[in-house]
Amino acid sequence: MQQLTFAWLEITGKCQLFCEHCYADSGPQGSHGLMESDDWRRVIEQLAARGVTMVQFIGGEPMLHPDLSGLVTYALDRGLRVEVFSNLVHVPAALWPVLEREAVSLATSYYSDDPAEHAAVTGRLSYARTRANVAEAVRRGIRLRAGVIDVREGQRVSAAQRELEMLGVREIGTDRLRRVGRGVRASTPDTSQLCGHCASGVIAISPDGSVWPCVFSRWLPVGNVRDAALADILSSPEAQRVREELMADFAAREVTAEGGKPKPPPPCDPKCGPACGPACNPSCWPTGAGPCTPKGGCQPNYD
């Protein structure tokens, strides 16, 4: 049975924004799905029992979920570390003290230092609010990592990184367009969009309870936590089949160098691992979670 260390909990498909590249295809039309708070608590219990050390609450926009505070507290009470992945457009006042708790951190996406370009990517006038809440998180001493996502020709990626540094953000990575969800252009989703570690100790759970190898591998459901216990899902023949197919695809990425010697692909290609060095930026996994710990390696989540 698979040993888990990290889980994405996609608690909602609802978001204020309509980002042109959103892998989850979330937006204002989304919903919190079929999973109730009690369902999420049951999942958190099962994850803790399996040895998971960290969960990430994501969406959609997790700040829009009415029970985010309660779910974060529930996870903390079971010894889990927590990251909240938010667009930081709006942080309810009552949530700031929760985010300041020990073992809680924040993550966000950033696109440009130009408000118009930022709005073109997110589909809404979101720059000023996100920037202000980044600054507020830094002021409060909340651990925050940010990813600058390069999705448009000529986008001001370097300027966005410099602005984040000026605001006091210390964990900054970059990533490219993922051809999943609304990021799909002329192709269909496939394993080339995955980092190569979603068969190793991680799991993602959707607002309707579907279980995926990771948040990007949404076309590969292996079960549903509303129908079965997580342990049964992970030990099922379907989960084993998907893991084996992924591992075979990832192994096939190796290329042959001159002289016929096997040569591994570049680290974290595509780049979706945690911040464990330049080769593993940005991190879809928070620092200290997954294969990047304790030895460095690569592991996804930038919206």
Note if the bond before 270 is cis, omega within 30 degrees: yes
Q: Check the CA dihedral 17-144-53-266 and report its sign.
A: positive
How far apart are the C-alpha atoms of 241 and 232, rounded to whole Å? 14
The values of phi and psi at residue 106, to 5°, are -120, 155
As a whole number of angstroms, the distance between CA 287 and CA 83 comes to: 10
How far apart, in whole angstroms, are the C-alpha atoms of residue 107 and residue 164? 13
pTM over 0.85: no
Calculate the CA 54 to chain-centre distance: 12
CB 262 within 8 A of CB 254: yes
Distance between alpha carbon 245 and the CA centroid of its chain, in Å?
Answer: 22
How far is the C-alpha of 245 from the C-alpha of 281, rounded, in Å? Answer: 26
Q: Which range, 165-169, 240-244, 273-277, has the best average confidence (pLDDT)?
A: 165-169
Residues 6+ apart with CB under 8 A from 200: 290, 291, 299
CA distance 268 to 213: 17
pLDDT at 23 over 90: no
Q: Give the whole-angstrom CA distance, residue 123 versus residue 19.
A: 6
pLDDT 10s digits, 125-175? 999 999 999 999 999 999 999 998 888 889 999 999 999 999 999 999 887
Q: What is the Cα gyration radius of the chain?
A: 18
**Angle 120-24-127 (CA atoms, 0-180°, nearest 5)?**
30
- Res 196 pLDDT > 90: no
Token digits for 152?
Answer: 């448009």
**pLDDT digits 0-9 by tens, 211-222:** 988 888 888 899
